[in-house]
Amino acid sequence: MSWTDERIETLKTMWEGGQTASQIADALGGVSRNAVIGKAHRLGLQARPSPVKSHDAATATATATATSEPAPTPVEPVVVAPPPPPAPTPAPAPEPVAVEEDAEEQDEPAPAPERVAAPQPVLRSVGPGGFVRQSPGEQQPPATPAPPRRLVPAKPSPEMAGKTSLLDLNDRICKWPLGHPGEPDFHFCGEKVNPGFPYCVEHCGHAYQAQMPRRDRRPPPPLPFGGPRVR
DNA sequence: CCCTGATTCGC
DNA sequence: GCGAATCAGG
């Protein structure tokens, strides 16, 4: 298997969406999770909570040098760290998007300085790919979940006529994917969104459900990015 | 044991 | 560039 554009796209989308390497690996099929991780790194995607990465010093010194001098006692032994700054910075910065030449819409650019403090209960949502997403109030602002990248050529085929293509996506239409990318009739729902959400009311119903049962292994719902093609 | 991601290194 | 082997924490 080789890393085609489409597979790389899927990898990025899933990786940034918080999927584990294993999940991505067998969603793609034909690659090991190691391959996925390797590729992700080569792509510069990274920066994800890893269980293994702390290499802070302090591990070495500990090993008892029988003779005193347990610690040089750096200045300020017990001073508690200063109060944490507010800065509610969402960690993953999905890299600045380059493609966005769209003429300014006639409405406000929506700097949205004030975040609507949505009293979201601890509610996880499961996206169209069957993967867990953050609740809108929790972290991800009501923005496009998938990279606003150009996946598909403009409107190559007549089949696309009347369909909502990637290019038609904007902040107020439902981005629920229908079909698989690459397939001739792949398009998006296109309904008017449920304000504050990336999907229309109906699809929000699908997207946002309490994640109740055990975190079982991948359910088989259709992936939005052309999941495990037949192997 | 299982899982996870990170790194290395021969190809 | 690729990914198996290996490492290492949870």
Q: What integer pLDDT is reported at residue A36 of this predicted model? A: 93
How distant is C1' of C3 from CA of A30, in Å? 12
pLDDT tens, residue by residue, A2-60:
899 888 888 888 888 788 899 889 888 889 999 999 999 998 887 777 666 654 444 44
How distant is C1' of C6 from CA of A187, in Å? 43
Instruction: Report the nucleotide nearest the CA of residue A51, measured to C1'.
Output: C9
Q: Which residue is nearest to nucleotide C3 (CA to C1')?
A: A35
How distant is C1' of C10 from CA of A48, in Å? 15
How distant is C1' of C6 from CA of A16, in Å? 26
Q: Which residue is nearest to nucleotide B5 (CA to C1')?
A: A50
pLDDT tens, residue by residue, A222-231:
555 554 444 4
Q: What integer pLDDT is reported at residue A44 of this predicted model? A: 87
* pLDDT, average across residues A162-189: 63
Q: What integer pLDDT is reported at residue A209 of this predicted model? A: 56
Residue A34, SS3? Answer: helix
Q: Which residue is nearest to nucleotide C5 (CA to C1')?
A: A34
Q: What integer pLDDT is reported at residue A9 of this predicted model? A: 85
Instruction: Report the nucleotide nearest the CA of residue A42, measured to C1'.
Output: C1
Report the b/e string of A191-217 with b at 16+ CB within 10 A.
bebbeebbbbeebbeebbeeeeeeeee
Render A113-153 in DSSP notation, one character per residue.
-S-------S--EE-TTS-EE--TTTSS-SS-SS-----S-
C-alpha to C-alpha distances, A101 to A15, A144, A151, A185, nearest whole angstrom = 26, 16, 15, 25
Q: Which bases of chain C are under 7 A from a protein CB atom?
A: 1-10
Q: What integer pLDDT is reported at residue A32 of this predicted model? A: 92
* Higher per-residue pLDDT: A181 or A187: A187
Instruction: Report the nucleotide nearest the CA of residue A54, measured to C1'.
Output: C9
* Higher per-residue pLDDT: A9 or A167: A9
Quickly list H helices, chain A: 5-16, 21-28, 33-42, 201-207
Q: What integer pLDDT is reported at residue A37 of this predicted model? A: 94
Q: What integer pLDDT is reported at residue A40 of this predicted model? A: 93
Instruction: Report the nucleotide nearest the CA of residue A37, measured to C1'.
Output: B5
* pLDDT, average across residues A197-223: 57
pLDDT tens, residue by residue, A63-101:
444 333 444 444 333 333 333 443 344 334 343 444 444
How distant is C1' of C4 from CA of A31, in Å? 11
Q: What integer pLDDT is reported at residue A39 of this predicted model? A: 94
pLDDT tens, residue by residue, A208-218:
655 544 444 44
Instruction: Report the nucleotide nearest the CA of residue A45, measured to C1'.
Output: B5
- How many whole angstroms separate alpha carbon A202 and alpha carbon A165? 19
Helix or strand run (H / E) with residue A188: strand A187-188
Q: Which residues get their CB within 7 angstroms of nucleic chain B?
A: A 20-23, 33-34, 37-38, 40-41, 46-53
Q: Which residue is nearest to nucleotide C10 (CA to C1')?
A: A51
C-beta separation of A36 from A20 below 8 A: no
